[in-house]
Amino acid sequence: MSEDRVFPPALAEVARVEFEYGEAGEGVDFEPYAAFDSAEETTDWLCHWTGNHELSGDAFRVFGQDGSGGLAAVWCVRPGRPLTEQPVVFMGSEGERGVVAGDLSGFLWVLADGFGPMEAALYPERTARPNADLAELAARHATTPRRPAREIIAEAQAEFATFDEDMDALCR
């Protein structure tokens, strides 16, 4: 397995967490995977998601989904940087999408504040619901200090402000 397909230990630990969505959807709609989807699965998904069957899924490492089939992925857009320094994005089953965090550390703190990938990308202004267990997980693995999810999300969305346009350009 190539080094850029090795599942980071932090995501392996996140995969053991059971996220509660709640009766009224007040929780986190996230089902983390125990490994990245294969390159073939990722390419197949991206081709169908965009309608462009000439694409490769090489820029994405899918590591979880929401209940409707929207996917959380590491977006390999920073050349030469390790997976842990790449942004995390959400791509919904109906074309919704957004940047979740600028790197894996930020993503861990977003989870600790009670936001899943879908909630962070689509509802960043929702009320934070800190989770002590996820905060402990983030403290063990993050290489950045804890910050509020809203701050992490806003910073990442500003840094990757063309994400929507970049994805639109892939669509047919």
Q: How far apart are CA 124 and CA 53, in angstroms?
A: 32
**pLDDT (0 to 100) of residue 156:** 98
Block mean pLDDT (10 aa), the chain, length 172? 80 95 86 97 95 95 96 96 97 95 98 97 94 96 97 97 95 90
> Residue 26: its pLDDT value, please?
82
In 10 A of CB 81, how many CB atoms?
11
Q: What is the DSSP string of 79-117?
A: TT--GGGS-EEEE-TTS-EEEEESSHHHHHHHHHTT--H
This prediction has a pTM of: 0.95
Query: Residue 5 has what DSSP assignment?
Result: G
